[in-house]
Amino acid sequence: MVRFIFRRFAGMLVTMFFVSIMVFSIMELPPGDYADRYAYRKFSGASIGQVTEADLRNIRHKFGLDRPWYQRYFSWIWGIASRFDFGPAFAFETSVNRVIGQRLWLSLAIMFSTLIVTYMISIPIGIYAAVHRHSIADYSLTVFSYLGLALPNFLLGLVLLYIAVTVFGSSVGGFFSPGLDKAPWSFAKAVDLLKHLFVPAVVLAWSATALQAQTMRATMLDEINKLSVTTARARGLPEWKLLLKYPARLAINPVAGSIGFDINRIFSDLPIVALVLGLPELGELLIKSYLDLDMYVAGAILLLITFIIIFLNFLSDILLAVLDPRIKLEGG
């Protein structure tokens, strides 16, 4: 077991290293550097003074933009690895760490609530549909799963916003009610946050729920005819008890096994959903910094969410190995 964990951990570090190179090359991709964009902004706006070549050289030197790319890469990655310093955020004229700040925790809160919503809905629905095969509930699950794929969740977010504004006359966007925005943390504020997390979580869970419910239903159908179930039934075990004890216990494994995939998809969809719903979290900032070409902020966010995904994958792999003894402890 220790060997298994160690190998997985080493594999995780290697993946992180290559991902960081990939992210860095995306940061380098847009033509020109910060100094060029600074000059452009000063030039296009009605600015006070002219920008000279010497100014540009100073900016480049100050931020180390005049060094070759590999030196910049290593100082960037070293800053992150040694003191969690993601470098300067040019457009905000501060550090990336400060810009990201509590947005990270809000993103994580959305992710966890989305996961909870996904499994809370999909597992019971999947079991129910498998037990009541060819019932109305079963067919509506099929229709729902097609819709889950076809209606992209940012459009679902827009639809919900529209309904909320026209029917209930309130907005569902944002994380906190207006008054509590700047207030210090308290029980009331936490409850308020939970209320506001519900809509984004449902929107993000939309397609995953449909997919997972289908998976759950399919595996349940495979398991439900096994001899162990018949034996348990013959033993006189109540139906709900035996369903939960044998087929559901086994059917949860593939669903739980795809948790890494779900986390990846949540972070993939999050930016656009956050933009639509007006949630000030990492993904929304990511889109904004892409549009402003503030590549240090964008790169930091992309790296951060990918590292979170890799780390959670690592955790879930170990958890699965503990949960399911049939998984062979190999690979790295």
Beta carbon nearer to other proteins, 127 or 304: 304
Could you tell me if 285 and 297 are in contact, meaning their C-beta atoms sit under 8 angstroms apart?
yes
Closest by CA position to 58, among listed 34, 78, 80, 75: 34
List C-alpha distances in Å: 129 to 91, 139, 241, 298.
Answer: 52, 8, 17, 43
Tell me the closest approach of the beta carbon of residue 109 to other proteins, in angstroms: 18
Residues 1-60 contacting other proteins, CB under 8 A: 15, 18-19, 22-23, 26, 29-31
Length of the chain: 332
How many residues of this chain bind other proteins (CB under 8 A)?
A: 46
Could you tell me if 247 and 126 are in contact, meaning their C-beta atoms sit under 8 angstroms apart?
no
Tell me the closest approach of the beta carbon of residue 118 to other proteins, in angstroms: 16
Tell me the closest approach of the beta carbon of residue 69 to other proteins, in angstroms: 15
Closest by CA position to 106, among listed 310, 285, 254: 285
Tell me the closest approach of the beta carbon of residue 325 to other proteins, in angstroms: 25
Beta carbon nearer to other proteins, 223 or 269: 269
Region at 240 (left for phi over 0; alpha for psi -120 to 50; beta for the rest)? alpha
Residues 163-192 contacting other proteins, CB under 8 A: 165-166, 171
Closest by CA position to 259, among listed 205, 219, 202, 301: 205
Beta carbon nearer to other proteins, 172 or 232: 172
Write b or e for each residue in 126-163: b if 16 or more Cβ atoms lie within 10 A of its Cβ, otherwise e. Answer: bbbbbbeeeeeebeebeebbeebeeeebbebbeebbee
Beta carbon nearer to other proteins, 120 or 147: 147
How far does the chain reach from its first CA to its final CA, in angstroms?
Answer: 12
Which residues sit opposite 89 in a β-bridge? 94
Tell me the closest approach of the beta carbon of residue 236 to other proteins, in angstroms: 34
- Rounded to an integer, what distance in angstroms lies between the CA atom of residue 217 and that of residue 248? 10
Among 150, 183, 194, 244, binds other proteins (CB under 8 A): 150
Tell me the closest approach of the beta carbon of residue 307 to other proteins, in angstroms: 10
Residues 212-231 contacting other proteins, CB under 8 A: none
What's the angle, vertex CA 63, arms to CA 58 and CA 65, rounded to 5?
A: 85
Among 13, 137, 149, 188, binds other proteins (CB under 8 A): 149
Residues 254-313 contacting other proteins, CB under 8 A: 264-265, 267-269, 271-272, 275-276, 283, 286-287, 290-291, 293, 298, 301-302, 305-306, 309-310, 313
Residue with tokens 């240090």: 296
Tell me the closest approach of the beta carbon of residue 261 to other proteins, in angstroms: 9
Among 65, 66, 73, 152, binds other proteins (CB under 8 A): 152
Could you tell me if 127 and 249 are in contact, meaning their C-beta atoms sit under 8 angstroms apart?
no
Beta carbon nearer to other proteins, 157 or 247: 157
Binding site for other proteins (CB under 8 A): 15, 18-19, 22-23, 26, 29-31, 146-147, 149-152, 154-155, 158, 161-162, 165-166, 171, 264-265, 267-269, 271-272, 275-276, 283, 286-287, 290-291, 293, 298, 301-302, 305-306, 309-310, 313
